[in-house]
Every structure is written in C-alpha cells, then in structure tokens.
Amino acid sequence: MKDTIQDEIIEEFSVMEDWMDRYDYLIELGQGLAPIDPQHRTDRYLINGCQSRVWVDARLEEGRVIYSADSDAIITKGIIALLIRVLNGRQPQEIVDADLYFIDAIGLSENLSPTRSNGLAAMVKQMRLYALAYAHNPQNNQNDR
C-alpha cells in the first residue's frame, strides 16, 4: 500500500546526494520535534535496545494514536521524528499493519551503525506495541501502562 507521507519522505531524501546532508536533515527534523512532557521522560517510557536514551509515549485520541518522544542524541531524535511523522494520528491497527518501506527506500537501515539500527528497530517495536495495546483495548488509559 502506498503511503503519501512515506512517499514525501522518500522524495525529500532523494534530493540529498550524500549521507552527511541526510544526517544534517535528520538533525534538523529532531530539532523540530515537539518536546515530550517531562513526566514521560522517565525510565518507564525509555526504550530498551537503544544505545542513546529515547523516550516514547502514546495516547489515544478519537480512535487515533498520538505519539510524543524525545532523545538525548540528535540523530536518533531525528529518526524518531520521522517515525512519528509517519505513524502519528493513525488508527491503532493501521500502525500495527504498517509497512514502513521508507526506511529502506531512503537507505536509513544500511547507513546507520549497528547499534543505531537496533535502536531504530526498538523504536518501531515500541510504537507498534502501544498501537497494539490500543487496538485490543481502546479504553486503555496511559496510567494503566
């Protein structure tokens, strides 16, 4: 299934010839990420499997998952900003089933260090787990997690 947001990201990255420019763009995206609520910047929201510290939270609003996140690493913060751009505001099952083809299309996986690649997989997994919890129990309240 084609996804307009993913296609836009692929287009944005396609105009950059080398990975230094792409890393700069990721840093810029991270700088534009809305800050996470300080109460969610705790170990409870920390993603396991990331070399840097990454916090992700999700809430359900009108049947759609809304994410917030932060990281202490500038490139990782840009990566989570991309994931939020693609997955934010979607219905839980749509997130669970999403084919995140933009990751390979922009060469993200192959141009990250192994530890950052593992972190990317951990971020996607956590975002999907939040969506899965909401898909199975839409009444799930963030305080219940």
* Residues catalogued as catalytic: 50
Tokens for 94? Answer: 């749509």
Q: Is 63 left (phi over 0), alpha (psi -120 to 50) or beta?
A: left
Contacts by 112-116 with C-beta closer than 8 Å and gap 24+? Answer: 115/51, 116/51, 116/75, 116/76, 116/79
Give the dihedral of Cα atoms 103, 109, 111, 112; nearest 10 deg. 120
